[in-house]
């Protein structure tokens, strides 16, 4: 996939205008959707399919905070693969185990408060990531991305628990 920021013609920074990204996505999909190339040559059909796939992947990357952060880190020369990135910060790992236990032992009436706290922490981490990126402190930005991923996962699991209890 090409640089998603370039493909969507937006500035490569963490905070983006999601509405503008969605509007650009629709415009690009209208322009390059493979159905529009049904009567074209096989080469043109293949090219449209590839471009459309790149548009879908770029859209997903831009709208996902962790993928967007990872892409920004890589574009600045930080070899960052979240799946392989391991933190040396033992306190971070211990904190994540504590948060996981808190989630596992929470009563359903505690879910809204947990969600509010964790969303605030996530928001603060996003601000921190953006500052580190601006300062070109890529090691700290990478570490912050890992923390953001932990909170994103906790919030996702909390949402699943809420949805299961609503059934």
Query: Residues 62-79: pLDDT tens digits?
Result: 999 999 999 999 999 998
Number of separate domains in the chain: 2
Q: Check residue 80 and give its pLDDT.
A: 84
53: domain range?
4-63
Contacts for 82 with CB less than 8 Å, ≥ 6 apart: 66, 70, 145, 146, 149
Is residue 160 in some structural domain? yes
Closest by Cα among 86, 83, 65 to 143: 86
Is residue 23 in some structural domain? yes
Instruction: Show which of 63, 80, 103 is a domain's final residue.
Output: 63
Structure tokens at 6: 């370039």
Is residue 116 in some structural domain? yes
- CATH number of residue 54's parent domain: 1.10.287.110
What would the mean pLDDT of 6-10 be, rounded to a whole number?
Answer: 95
**What phi, psi does 119 have (nearest 5°)?**
-65, -40
Is residue 141 in some structural domain? yes
CA 157 vs CA 63, 70, 95, 162: distances in Å: 19, 22, 17, 9
Is residue 68 in some structural domain? no
For the entire predicted model, the pTM comes to 0.88
Is residue 57 in some structural domain? yes
Is residue 73 in some structural domain? no
Poorest-pLDDT segment among 59-63, 100-104, 163-167 = 163-167
Length of the chain in residues, anyone? 167
Is residue 98 located within the same domain as residue 57? Answer: no
Q: How far apart (Å, rounded) are the C-alpha atoms in residues 60 and 117?
A: 26
Q: Check residue 166 and give its pLDDT.
A: 62
Is residue 84 in some structural domain? no
């Amino acid at each position: 996939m090409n640089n998603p920021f370039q493909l969507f013609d937006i500035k490569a920074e963490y905070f983006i205008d999601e509405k503008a990204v969605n509007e650009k996505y629709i415009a690009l999909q209208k322009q390059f959707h493979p159905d529009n190339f049904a009567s074209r040559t096989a080469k043109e059909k293949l090219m449209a399919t590839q471009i459309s796939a790149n548009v879908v992947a770029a859209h997903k990357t831009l709208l996902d905070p962790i993928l967007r952060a990872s892409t920004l880190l890589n574009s600045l020369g930080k070899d960052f693969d979240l799946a392989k990135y391991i933190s040396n910060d033992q306190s971070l790992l211990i904190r994540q185990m504590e948060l996981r236990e808190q989630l596992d032992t929470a009563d359903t009436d505690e879910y809204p408060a947990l969600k509010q706290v964790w969303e605030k922490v996530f928001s603060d981490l996003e601000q921190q990531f953006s500052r580190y990126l601006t300062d070109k402190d890529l090691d700290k930005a990478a570490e912050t991305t890992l923390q953001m991923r932990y909170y994103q996962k906790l919030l996702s699991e909390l949402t699943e628990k809420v949805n299961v209890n609503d059934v």
